[in-house]
């Protein structure tokens, strides 16, 4: 009766993950239906042993083992579905069916407790290890520190426990006895199982929650259409970088970019083509800039590039590279080549700059680039004297000294 109570508590501990999985089931997260069913079957497996006092052994043993076989199989299928891989349903069902049939033979034809224990643990070890292998291969898709480590410990800890069980009973180190009247080794495996099985489902739950949280964070950080940084994140980064420049006297160049004649693409080819053009533009620009720079979308067809530790001369060269790359990489819409160019306004950090101030200067320079024929970059300059002379410089032209000419916001 004491061991039955232990299995009851084990089943209830495993069931704690079930209500936490259900909300993700309702959201349609891939793999969660399999995880939910696996959790329910694992609980059934434990409760079957807990009912040993009132159910014949021929019934509770078979129910428990069959439920566990299904649970482990669904965990494997669910993990593959979660990561967008082929679930291998057919081969897993075949393996599970053969294992269940072997259990039935070992129980009803010739009651072989040792054979059942080894088969039970061998099946668990193989499928749980396969599950851990999938998680390890897909580990780079989960970025939160510590999550993959916890998952590896939970999955391979359960596999190692059953590998040890195979060794103990398969090598004849101890004669197999019923789990309801366990030996020292049997009690050890029960106690460890009561930790590793709930730990497995908590690891799956943590994997789901972490993935959903990272997706939400990515949705806030990146623009969903172009995968450039979102307006909010790029402006937050600009504020942070301006503060750093103010403290440490750093260099920063801000390039505001606008797609030339973007409205005509929408009008002629439709809004879906316009979305394609925006994605193409963002990809070309990000391939043309330095890996250390940050590229974001302000809205519509307007973008901004933050160039860190970059003086005006180098910033102008990098800005020209963006124009050249876009000109050299045509867009194809509906089988036609559609030339795409961009205009830009470039402003460099000055002491006391705010985000609004430096963007305003870059916007004025952008407007001048459009006025002077587009497909060019103009640089905003601010004089140090009492009066400021207005002016602009086309990209690639010799730069005047900052004191000589400038575009004011």
| Catalytic residue positions, numbered | 301
DSSP state letter for 173: S
Spatial contact of 265 and 307, defined as CB atoms under 8 Å apart: no
- The partner residues of 394 in beta bridges, in order of sequence, read 378
CA-closest candidate to residue 66, choices 87, 95, 96: 96
| Residue 258, both tokens | 């606008």
CA-closest candidate to residue 353, choices 230, 232, 253, 257: 253
For 363, phi then psi, to 5°, come to: -65, -40
- Side by side, the strands of the sheet bearing 294-299 are 294-299, 302-308, 252-259, 342-348, 377-380
Q: What stretch of H or E contains 86?
A: none
**What CA–CA distance (Å, rounded) separates 408 from 387?**
11
For 188, phi then psi, to 5°, come to: -60, -45
Q: How many residues does the chain have?
A: 409
| Residue 112, both tokens | 């072989």
**What CA–CA distance (Å, rounded) separates 343 from 322?**
10
Write the CA distances from 252 to 48, 170, 247, integer angstroms.
67, 68, 13
| Residue 276, both tokens | 């394609």
For 304, phi then psi, to 5°, come to: -140, 145
DSSP symbols for 273-340? HHHHHHHHHHHHHHHHS-TTSEEEEEETTEEEEEEET--HHHHHHHHHHHHHHHHHS-EEETTEEE--
In sequence order, which residues have a C-beta less than 8 Å from that of residue 249 and are 6 or more positions away?
A: none
Spatial contact of 362 and 346, defined as CB atoms under 8 Å apart: yes
């Amino acid at each position: 009766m004491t061991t039955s109570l232990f299995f009851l508590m084990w089943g209830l501990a495993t069931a704690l993950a079930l209500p936490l999985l259900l909300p993700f089931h309702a959201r349609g997260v891939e793999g969660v239906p399999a995880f939910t069913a696996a959790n329910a079957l694992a609980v059934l497996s434990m409760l079957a042993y807990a009912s040993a006092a009132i159910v014949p052994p021929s019934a509770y043993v078979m129910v428990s083992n069959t439920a566990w076989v299904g649970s482990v199989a669904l965990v494997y299928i669910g993990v593959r579905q979660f990561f967008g891989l082929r679930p291998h349903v057919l081969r897993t069902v075949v393996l599970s069916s053969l294992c269940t049939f072997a259990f039935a033979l070992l129980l009803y034809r010739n009651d072989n407790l040792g054979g059942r224990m080894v088969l039970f643990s061998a099946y668990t070890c193989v499928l749980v290890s396969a599950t851990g292998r999938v998680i390890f291969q897909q580990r780079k898709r989960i970025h939160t520190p510590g999550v993959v480590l916890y998952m590896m410990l939970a999955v391979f800890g359960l596999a190692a426990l059953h590998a040890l069980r195979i060794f103990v009973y398969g090598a004849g180190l101890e004669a197999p006895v019923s789990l309801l009247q366990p030996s020292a080794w049997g009690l050890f495996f029960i106690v460890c199982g009561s930790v590793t099985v709930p730990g497995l489902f908590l690891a799956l739950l943590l994997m789901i929650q972490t993935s959903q949280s990272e997706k939400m964070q990515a949705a806030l950080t990146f623009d969903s259409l172009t995968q450039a940084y979102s307006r909010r994140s790029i402006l937050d980064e600009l504020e942070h970088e301006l503060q750093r420049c103010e403290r440490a006297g750093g260099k920063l160049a801000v390039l505001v970019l606008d797609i030339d004649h973007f409205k005509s693409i929408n009008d002629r080819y439709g809004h879906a083509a316009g979305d394609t053009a925006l994605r193409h533009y963002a990809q070309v620009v990000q391939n043309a800039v330095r890996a250390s720079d940050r590229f974001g979308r302000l809205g519509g067809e307007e973008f901004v590039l933050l160039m860190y530790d970059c003086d005006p001369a180098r910033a102008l060269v990098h800005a020209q590279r963006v124009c050249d790359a876009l000109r050299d990489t045509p867009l194809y819409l509906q089988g036609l080549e559609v030339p795409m160019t961009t205009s830009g306004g470039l402003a460099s950090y000055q002491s006391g700059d705010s985000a609004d101030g430096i963007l305003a200067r870059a916007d004025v320079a952008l407007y001048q680039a459009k006025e002077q024929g587009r497909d060019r970059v103009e640089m905003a300059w601010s004089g140090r004297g009492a009066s400021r002379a207005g002016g602009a410089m086309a990209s690639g032209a010799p730069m005047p000294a900052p004191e000589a000419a400038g575009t004011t916001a």
